[in-house]
Amino acid sequence: MTDAATSNALPPVVALRRRFHARPELGFLEYGIAAEAASTLTALGWTVQAGPEVMRREAMLGVPGAEAIAAARARALAEGADPAWIARMPDGMTGVVGTLDRGPGPVVALRFDIDALPIEEADALAHPPAAAGFGSAHPGRMHACGHDGHAAIGLEVARLLTAAEWSGKVLLIFQPAEEGGRGALPMVEAGVAAEATHFYAAHLGLGLPSGVVAAEARGFLGSAKIDAVFEGRAAHAGAAPQDGRHAILAAAHAVGALQALPRHGAELTQVNVGRIEGGSGRNVIPDRCRIEFEVRAETEPTLDALHARALAALEGAAALAGCAVRTELMGRTASFLSSPEAAARVARVAAAQGTEVRDVHHVGGGEDAAFFVRAAQARGGEAGYFILGADLADGHHSPRFDFDEAALVPGAALFAALALDALSGAPA
């Protein structure tokens, strides 16, 4: 990281985002960013919980192996993380919750996701992070979705709310592993935000231009994330191919079958096989191939049906090539809708800040904030998800993704104002 990334001339939230951007960490491996969040919140006087205090181990899906976790912890320590916080986050339990309790009043919970993606960031000078010297320093990892900005906003909100006057309680939730839909549920099941009367989360970008806020995001599909391993039988590919069972061929048919799962007549659905890896030597009939995929749907029954047909397709593809298949559910998100009150409050508060407001912005991904939103709504609370417009250099999850940093300062201001508005007891 060059001086540019930590220039004093930058607003703190921007400098922070750049530091986070340069050190992307995959889900359940966000030791560096989580430790920094915990240290910062503590320094600001917030009560901080982390690791098993805020995550239920049994609800964690798709946890990386012990070796990957050990490496992530070591790297975070090498990059300056506080060993005390690292020690409190075993086994990939990288969730952090800061609480500031100032007496009677509403309980407002804000969620910020912190994980990055397994993408090799572009290093061309046309790519702003590379040009400005804060490109990823972690090979094969990239903040290509904007969670670096979310995390930076979260800590800026902590500063703003610490400095403001209010009564009630605020929870700032730094959630790991949003990608893959794995981090929210273990926190919800650990009781995080169980007393919240208000819950808000947001996303930068998503096609909404800089300077605009959408009071409500629609179209987040529910999803299931599944890994499958095909197991065949190795044999010499020249001398005895007839003795082999070709696991890559099985997986190839599975890829075709999954991508061709039936569309629905009235709902959006999605399928993606995002990873494949298999085989050993070129002249060995491959005895193993692994794929990682997800299915998405607007409603739970359709998601369940798609999930079931995906599993059946895997079984058929394995049988077709004389192989077996094992599957593992690695993550799951649900669909959700913002409370009308939440959307109204966001619209009112944002407009009061002079921001251009749209009622609804359609997005087509998945978001495990769903579990927080649904839990809050189930208890009668107000819960919403909004969009902070930010021009993009390229689409989310592209190696050339980047967002307009001008969205960060007003984004933090909106979150803070929203919390204060809710804490004031104002109706939506």
- The reply on whether position 225 binds a second copy by CB under 8 A is yes
Please pick, from the candidates 76, 318, 344, 357, the single residue that binds a second copy as defined by CB under 8 A: 318
In whole angstroms, how close is the CB of 306 to a second copy at the nearest point? 8
Nearest C-alpha neighbor of 145 from the set 156, 132, 157, 136:
136
In whole angstroms, how close is the CB of 104 to a second copy at the nearest point? 41
Please pick, from the candidates 12, 52, 64, 118, the single residue that binds a second copy as defined by CB under 8 A: 118
- The reply on whether position 221 binds a second copy by CB under 8 A is yes
Residue 212 parent element (H or E): strand 212-218
Calpha distance 403→395 (Å, rounded): 9
As beta bridge partners, residue 122 has: none
- The reply on whether position 275 binds a second copy by CB under 8 A is yes
> What sign does the CA torsion over 252, 256, 261, 267 have?
positive
- The reply on whether position 240 binds a second copy by CB under 8 A is yes
Q: Which is nearer to a second copy, 295 or 416 (CB)?
A: 295
Cα-based torsion angle of the residue sequence 60, 62, 66, 67 in order, rounded to the nearest 10 degrees = -150
The number of beta carbons lying within 10 Å of the beta carbon of residue 315 is 15
- The reply on whether position 327 binds a second copy by CB under 8 A is no
Please pick, from the candidates 253, 307, 332, 345, the single residue that binds a second copy as defined by CB under 8 A: 253
Binding mask 175-214 for a second copy (x = CB under 8 A): ----xx-------------------------xx-------
Nearest C-alpha neighbor of 41 from the set 203, 173, 204, 149:
173
Calpha distance 147→183 (Å, rounded): 13
- The reply on whether position 219 binds a second copy by CB under 8 A is yes
Please pick, from the candidates 153, 158, 321, 388, the single residue that binds a second copy as defined by CB under 8 A: 321
- The reply on whether position 312 binds a second copy by CB under 8 A is yes
Calpha distance 336→321 (Å, rounded): 40
Binding mask 49-88 for a second copy (x = CB under 8 A): ----------------------------------------
Calpha distance 218→362 (Å, rounded): 5
- The reply on whether position 276 binds a second copy by CB under 8 A is yes
Please pick, from the candidates 69, 157, 190, 248, the single residue that binds a second copy as defined by CB under 8 A: 248
Total of residues contacting a second copy (CB under 8 A): 89
Three-state SS string over 17-78 comes to HHHHHHCCCCCCCCHHHHHHHHHHHHHCCCEEEEHHHCCCHHHCCCCCCHHHHHHHHHHHHH
In whole angstroms, how close is the CB of 32 to a second copy at the nearest point? 20
Calpha distance 98→147 (Å, rounded): 18
Binding mask 133-162 for a second copy (x = CB under 8 A): ------------------------------
Q: Interface residues for a second copy in 287-306 (CB under 8 A)?
A: 289, 292-294, 296, 302, 305
